[in-house]
């Protein structure tokens, strides 16, 4: 006796309850006759994370209406999907089993993550009871995301007789997450002797990317099926007397392919889900904007991308040439808009005000901000979202100009350290040079004064990035970092720069989380901070 | 037999563990001989809220060292103070009773707020046990902040024999909070028959202001003592056989005095605690910047404030005259820097790029952003923090230019609706005109094109503000707001504007929370949002 389960790995829209319900119903229509059971991601109807939309009483009303609609089409196929539910004035993160026109069973998530980017205790109470339902002679347990990272929920499901666990997820990407996930779920499967159908969300939502890669493990924890990463899919797995039969196993992507896939997905979805169809960015002839351009083109297509070079009196000819070369090679709109006359107009306007002072960072910032105004003007005039091109190393130490190069709607590289920017640039060139080699080879420079180099203000990125990873992602103290072999003066200077730049990061646009700890919801630091 | 308790209402520095410990020890020295017991605010040593600093292992190490130092001076006086503590790998929000050189008792907070601006479940586990200690024949219970908003912690303390409850707080201000607090604590006092010594933090921390107003209630819930608002104080209350004797009762401030006090305190502390001693702001001749100027002067003194008027071709003469008049009246540095030449330079630079298009919002934004650059240049050159002057109504509907009038380090009026801006301006003029009457009387305008008025783009503020309060602060749905008597088309337009402006708010500087729900940590909305 066999039963077929569909893993509905869908890309949903946060807050669009009716639209997400429509997606579920269309999926049910398509799968009826092919699958007995379809499993959707966590909080299917609201998308994830719905954040404070959950606090709106209208959210409940609309979810309940959508659920009734979906229940009506739940015949000939069982649908397992996620939604928020309120019982006796308390809200839960629920998974409903819809069949024969009704919600036949409802599981309430037990383990509510409240760390990193997660705020589930802000919204939900924990459930306590296992839910097991029977279909086609197989007993299915239901759990939600974080639940399978702990023993108790799985143990309760197994004790209640579950042979196969359906786990609904909204598990955001960071480096190596896919491997970590399967290992952990595999341990749970073998420990409690249950097969696991793990269905993940796919797509970008603000700073998060859900990478898909849904999978099925047997009761020994061995992989039977893996869905693709970073794309929607409806894959089928047949259970024979509760035992999953081997199906297609997509490969796990290598490290750089994973990260690049997340950057492209996050950028594409942020732009499109905010109602934009094209972007503009400043192309400086440096490596950050060069990589941002390839991400933009891979996400949206060359026709939807405009690149602007904005040379100043300090811009090397190499910068102009290589920017133009890459733009032409990639087939994007390109123009060069010199900033000299606006820069000079600011200097003239401020002559009296600044009389008797020496040029300093002020004049550098005026240039960066003049570029910000020009790019925002193009964004406003043509309805194109401005992508900002800064990387995580700069964002960490504040080596960026607020309202200047930090201006923009989205920052694809915000969580990508500079050393990883280089590795990704090499990787993107693997099938032929897209990013000019000269851009990769030149020493990094902001070109905001004569002969300026990043190395004048910052340690080498090969030294800076590991210090930043230890301080920002691993919470190490100065002494620990020094003990690991770094120069004390450098560590003290770097960590001080990180602390003092929080005010800039607070005004930065969102970007794609790809590390274990990104700036944004993931790292909540005070600005006023005497630590 | 009597015992004297000191309410140490102090202004602490988040993260400065050693500095805060030093404050406690100096206070102990001063009070020894005058008080038997001194009570400090919640999380005294880290300040509140320490946010993700709590995740740094170094935090624990430094707190423990500070605690040992303080315990050494705890002789001849008992100190009750707050700090984070880790037990068996779990972190708690603790209050320690330090006397005779040791931590004699330690209470672990039971009720951990995880709503509004609070994230305590992100950091802490809840405690379960009451702590009661005896001194001078009186049995004191200890609780922390949120605990007294619930019955259970107070009940447990009372059951364990507490006659007087010492409650350590970091209770942030919003309108009418002081009244609400005393009413609620009074209910708890009378229900469980305990007197309450309620010690609050005072001062600003990023978006929060702690308003002080510490108080003592007797077991009937009647007020015996109230400390001043918005300033540090060490006041003494004597307990006679556990019964508080009447002491000085400071008046509760009226509504506008409360709000204005919060704005001044929040601005002063944000500027000073970030290491700045002066500010600069754009003074447009409109009411928002006029009120921001009075706040800045009241917070920092006239000598620390610089006002800049930046007229364009669309600026009325009235704006220039009244800006200058107010600046002179208040005795602040003032200069006028016309933006015409930089504006024209941008238009010239973009002539080719924008050929064949009509002027639109783009050109308006270029003006606002040119002003942003000039103000940031002054900020950079002179080391003055830029205050931005926008109000909550504008911030709600996105009637503000990102990187333009939104540029700045701090936004004093960010949570103040426009109608309240008017009331505060009248109130600030109560002892003589400071804000020119012509500024109050003129119709609001951004002056970014000829004859522009806010009323061309927005409903009257008298209509807009109540719609916003219902939608943003009370989570009402469109239908509910319409049912309350507002025009449907207007409500739909306004709520759509709020939803679509989230991306701007995400890049806005912090400001002082004065309403029940401010933008920032208090309202966590997705940017990509199909609700």
Residues A302 and A339 in one domain: yes
* Same domain as A77, residue A180: yes
Instruction: Say yes or no for a CB contact (<8 Å) between B376 and A14.
Output: no
What does the pLDDT read at residue A455?
Answer: 87
Residues B379, B409: one domain?
yes
- A363 and A493 share one domain: no
DSSP per position, B420-439: HHHHHHHHHTTTS--S-HHH
- Name the percent of chain A in helix, strand, coil, to the closest 5: 40, 20, 40
In a domain, A531, yes or no: no
Mean pLDDT, residues A367-373 taken together: 98
Domain assignment present for residue B365? The answer is yes
Kindly determine whether residue B403 and residue A372, on different chains, have CB atoms separated by under 8 Å: yes
DSSP conformation letters of B12-40: --TT-HHHHHHHHHHHHHHHBTTBSEEE-
Q: How far is CA A300 from CA A265, A294, A304, B467, in A?
A: 10, 10, 6, 38
Q: Do the Cβ atoms of A512 and A266 come closer than 8 Å?
A: yes
| Shortest CA distance from A522: residue in chain B | B52
CA–CA distance, A337 with A282 (Å, rounded to integer): 10
Say whether A57 and B16 touch across the interface (CB within 8 A): no
The two structure tokens encoding residue A409 = 């709607």
Residue B424 domain flag: yes
CA distances for A77 relative to A1, A31, A102, A412, B58, angstroms: 17, 8, 12, 40, 55
Q: Which candidate, A351, A227, A334, A232, places its Cα nearest to that of A290? A: A334
Distance CA B393, CA B498 (A): 10
CA B217 remoteness from chain centre: 25
The residue of chain B with its CA nearest to that of A15 is: B531
My answer on whether A284 and A418 are in the same domain is yes
Q: What is the distance of C-alpha B204 from the center of its chain?
A: 6
Confidence at residue A503, expressed as pLDDT on a 0 to 100 scale: 97
Considering only alpha carbons, which residue of chain A is nearest residue B409? A503
pTM: 0.97
Rounded Cα–Cα distance for residues A301 and A278 (Å):
9
Question: Annotated catalytic, B433?
Answer: no
B346/A337 Cβ within 8 A: no
Q: Across chain A, what does the average pLDDT equal?
A: 97
Locate the DSSP E strands across B283-437: 305-309, 333-336, 385-387
> Across the interface, do B530 and A50 touch by the CB < 8 Å criterion?
no
Residue B103 lies in a domain: yes
Sign of CA dihedral B392, B393, B398, B402: negative
Please answer yes or no on whether A114 and B114 come within 8 Å at the CB atom: yes
Question: pLDDT tens across B87-130, in order?
Answer: 999 999 999 999 999 999 999 999 999 999 999 999 999 999 99
Options B27, B59, B145, B224, the catalytic residue: B145
Question: Is residue A126 a contact partner of residue A146, using CB atoms and an 8 Å limit?
Answer: no
List beta partners, residue A211. Answer: A202
Residue B15 sits in the same domain as residue B101: yes
Q: Beta strand pairing status for B138-144 and B164-168?
A: parallel
Whether B27 is a known active-site residue: answer no
β-bridge pairing A233-240 and A243-244: antiparallel
Shared-domain flag, residues B428 and B444: yes
Helix (H, G, I), strand (E, B) or coil at B526: coil
CB contact under 8 A, A402 and B376: yes
Quickly list H helices, B74-148: 120-123
Q: What is the ipTM of this complex?
A: 0.96
Q: Which domain holds residue A104?
A: 2-253
What CATH number is attached to the domain comprising A147?
3.60.110.10
Cα separations in angstroms, A57 against A62, A91, A126, B100? 9, 11, 20, 53
Number of domains in chain B: 3
Same domain, A430 and A301: yes
* Residues of chain B contacting A373 with CB distance shorter than 8 Å: 346, 366, 369-370, 373, 403
In angstroms, rounded to a whole number, what is the distance separating the alpha carbons of residues A105 and A507? 45
Is the residue at A511 inside a domain? no
Same domain, B289 and B369: yes
Count of helix runs (H) and strand runs (E) in chain A: 18, 19
| Contact status, residue A406 vs residue A508, Cβ threshold 8 Å | yes
Please identify which of the residues B59, B109, B111, B224 carries the catalytic annotation.
Answer: B109
What b/e readout covers B453-483, taking b as 16+ CB neighbours within 10 angstroms? ebeeebbebebbbbbbbbbbbebbbbebbbe
- The residue ranges of chain B whose pLDDT is under 50 are none
Q: Please indicate, yes or no, if residue A289 is contained in any of the structural domains.
A: yes
Measured between CA atoms, the residue of chain B closest to residue A49 is B526
- Cβ-Cβ pairs closer than 8 A, A with B, add up to 237
Whether residue B278 is contained in a domain is answered as yes
B412, B385 in Cβ contact below 8 A? no
Q: Which residue from B57, B403, B527 is facing A206, i.e. has the nearest CB?
A: B527
Instruction: Please tell me whether residue B79 adopts helix, strand or coil conformation.
Output: strand
Q: Rounded to whole angstroms, how far apart are CA atoms B485 and A7?
A: 48
CATH of the domain at B389: 3.40.50.620
Are B234 and B339 within one domain?
Answer: no
The verdict on a CB contact (< 8 Å) between B361 and A380 is yes
Cβ neighbours of residue A328 under 8 Å, at least 6 residues apart?
A: A334
In chain A, what residues touch B204 (CB-CB under 8 Å)? 528
Alpha helix locations (H) across B224-316? 255-273, 287-300
CA angle, A57 then A63 then A68, to 5°: 135
Catalytic positions of A, written as ranges: 42, 109, 145
Query: Could you tell me if B214 and B288 lie in one domain?
Result: no
Q: Which of B341, B345, B496 is the best mutation test for A, with the most CBs of A within 10 A?
A: B345
- For residues A92 and A230, state if they share a domain: yes
Q: Residue A219: its pLDDT value, please?
A: 96
With contacts defined as CB-CB under 8 Å, which chain A residues touch B528?
A: 13-14, 204-206, 269-270, 273-274
Q: Strand B208-211 relative to strand B202-205: parallel, antiparallel, unpaired?
A: antiparallel
Maximum pairwise Cα distance, chain B: 89
Q: Is residue B12 part of a domain?
A: yes
Nearest chain A residue to B359 by CA distance is: A381
In angstroms, what separates the C-alpha of B407 from chain A's closest C-alpha?
Answer: 7
Point out the residue among A17, A365, A378 whose CB comes nearest to the CB of B353: A378
For residue A391, give the nearest of A290, A477, A255, A317 by alpha carbon.
A290
C-alpha dihedral sign at B92, B95, B99, B104? negative
Phi/psi zone of residue A51: left (φ > 0), alpha (ψ -120 to 50 degrees), beta?
left
> Least CA distance to B46: which residue of chain A?
A531
> How far apart, in Å, are the Cα atoms of A528 and each of A193, A349, A491, B275, B511?
51, 34, 21, 9, 13
B-interface mutation test, from A126, A377, A470, A521, most B Cβ less than 10 A away: A377
**Contact yes or no for A369 and B349 at CB 8 A:** no
- For residue B282, what pLDDT is reported? 98
Q: Of A115, A350, A361, which is closest to B374 when you measure between CB atoms?
A: A350
Determine, for residues B503 and A409 on separate chains, whether the beta-carbon distance falls below 8 Å: yes
Q: What is the pLDDT of residue B451?
A: 87
> Chain A: residue nearest B358 by CA?
A381
The DSSP 8-state label assigned to residue B48 in this structure reads: S
Nearest CB to A403; choose among B14, B366, B372 = B372
Distance between CA atoms of A160 and A143, rounded to whole angstroms? 13
**pLDDT, position A58:** 95
Task: Tell if the CB–CB gap between B353 and A53 is shorter than 8 Å.
Answer: no
Instruction: Give yes or no for a contact between A295 and A435, defined as CB atoms under 8 angstroms apart.
Output: no
> Does the beta-carbon distance from B377 to A361 stay under 8 Å?
no
pLDDT at B501: 97
- The alpha-carbon gap from A493 to the nearest alpha carbon of chain B, in Å, equals 18
With beta carbons less than 8 A apart as the criterion, state whether A500 and A531 touch: no
The pLDDT tens digits of the residues spanning A108-166 come to 999 999 999 999 999 999 999 999 999 999 999 999 999 999 999 999 999 999 999 99
For Cα atoms A74, A76, A80, give the angle at the middle one, nearest 5 degrees: 45
Both tokens of A212, joined, read 């898909």
Q: Which of A15, A57, A526 lies closest to B15 in CB terms?
A: A526
Bridge-based pairing state of the strands A90-99 and A78-87: antiparallel
Q: What is the DSSP secondary-structure string of A327-346?
A: HHHHT-EEEE---HHHHHHH
* Reported confidence tier of residue A511, pLDDT bands at 50, 70, 90: very high
Contacts of B339 in chain A (CB under 8 A): 349
Instruction: Give how far Cα B323 sits from Cα of A42, A501, B274, B342, B373, Å.
Output: 55, 33, 28, 21, 20
Per-residue pLDDT tens digits for A61-102: 999 999 999 999 999 999 999 999 999 999 999 999 999 999
Q: Which contacts of B25-33 are long-range, i.e. CB under 8 A and separated by 24 or more positions?
A: B25/B69, B25/B70, B25/B73, B27/B234, B28/B70, B28/B73, B28/B74, B28/B77, B28/B79, B29/B73, B30/B234, B31/B6, B31/B77, B31/B234, B32/B76, B32/B77, B33/B76
**What span, in angstroms and rounded, lies between the C-alpha atoms of A12 and A320?**
41
CA–CA distance, A524 with A494 (Å, rounded to integer)? 19
CB contact under 8 A, A372 and B51: no
Distance CA B502, CA B499 (A): 6
Contact A413, A392 (CB under 8 A): yes
Chain A: closest CA distance from residue B421 (Å): 25
What's the CA gap between A248 and A251, in Å, rounded?
Answer: 10
Best residue in B116, B351, B403 to probe A by mutation, most A CBs within 10 Å?
A: B403
Query: What is the rounded CA–CA span in Å between residue B379 and residue A397?
Result: 20
Strand partners, A200: none
Q: How far is CA B300 from CA A306, B266, B279, in A?
A: 46, 11, 9
- In this prediction, residue A1 carries a pLDDT of 76
Asked if A346 and B372 come within 8 Å (Cβ–Cβ), the reply is: no
Nearest chain A residue (CA) to B333: A353
B529 Cβ contact partners less than 8 Å away, ≥ 6 residues apart = A14, A15, A53, B499, B502
């Amino acid at each position: 006796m066999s039963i077929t389960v569909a893993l509905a790995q869908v890309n949903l829209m946060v807050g669009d309850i009716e639209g997400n319900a429509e997606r579920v119903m269309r999926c049910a229509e398509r799968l009826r006759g092919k699958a007995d059971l379809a499993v959707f991601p966590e909080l299917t109807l609201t998308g994830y994370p719905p954040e404070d939309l959950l606090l709106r009483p209208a959210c409940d009303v609309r979810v309940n209406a959508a659920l009734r609609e979906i229940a009506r089409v739940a015949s000939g196929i069982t649908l397992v999907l996620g939604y928020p539910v309120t019982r006796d004035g308390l809200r839960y993160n629920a998974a409903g089993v819809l069949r024969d026109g009704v919600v036949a069973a409802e599981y309430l998530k037990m383990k509510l993550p409240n760390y990193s980017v997660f705020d589930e205790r802000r919204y939900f109470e924990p459930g306590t009871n296992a839910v097991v339902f029977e279909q086609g002679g197989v007993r299915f347990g239901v759990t939600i995301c974080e639940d399978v990272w702990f023993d108790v929920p799985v143990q309760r499901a197994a004790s209640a007789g579950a042979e196969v666990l359906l786990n609904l997820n909204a598990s955001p990407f960071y480096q190596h997450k896919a491997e970590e996930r399967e290992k952990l779920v595999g341990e749970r499967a073998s420990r409690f002797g249950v097969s696991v159908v793990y269905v993940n969300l796919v797509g970008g939502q603000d700073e998060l990317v859900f990478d898909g890669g849904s999978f099925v493990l047997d009761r020994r924890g061995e992989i039977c099926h893996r869905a693709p990463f970073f794309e929607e899919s409806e894959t089928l797995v047949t259970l024979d007397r509760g035992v999953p039969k081997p199906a297609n196993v997509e490969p796990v992507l290598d490290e750089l392919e994973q990260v690049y896939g997340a950057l492209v997905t996050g950028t594409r979805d942020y732009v499109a889900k905010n109602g934009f169809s094209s972007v503009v960015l400043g192309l400086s002839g440096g490596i950050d904007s060069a990589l941002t351009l390839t991400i933009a083109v891979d996400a949206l297509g060359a026709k939807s991308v405009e690149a602007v070079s904005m040379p100043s009196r300090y811009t090397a000819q190499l910068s102009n040439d290589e920017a133009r070369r890459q733009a032409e090679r990639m087939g994007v709109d390109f123009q060069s808009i010199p900033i000299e006359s606006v820069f000079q107009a600011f200097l003239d306007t401020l002559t009296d005000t600044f009389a008797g002072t020496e040029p300093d960072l002020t004049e550098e910032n005026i240039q960066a901000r003049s570029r910000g105004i020009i790019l925002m003007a193009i964004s406003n005039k043509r309805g194109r979202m401005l992508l900002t091109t800064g990387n995580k190393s700069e964002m960490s130490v504040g080596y960026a100009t607020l309202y200047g190069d930090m201006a923009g709607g989205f920052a694809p590289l915000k969580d990508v350290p500079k050393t990883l920017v280089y590795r990704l640039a090499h990787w993107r060139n693997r099938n032929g040079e897209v990013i000019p080699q000269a851009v990769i080879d030149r020493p990094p420079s902001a070109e905001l004064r004569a002969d300026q180099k990043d190395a004048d203000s910052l340690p080498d990125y090969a030294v800076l990035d590991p210090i930043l990873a230890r301080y920002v992602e691993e919470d190490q103290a100065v002494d620990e970092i020094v003990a690991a072999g770094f120069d004390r003066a450098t560590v003290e200077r770097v960590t001080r720069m990180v602390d003092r730049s929080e005010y800039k990061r607070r005004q930065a646009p969102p970007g794609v989380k790809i590390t274990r700890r990104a700036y944004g919801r993931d790292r909540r630091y005070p600005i006023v901070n005497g630590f």
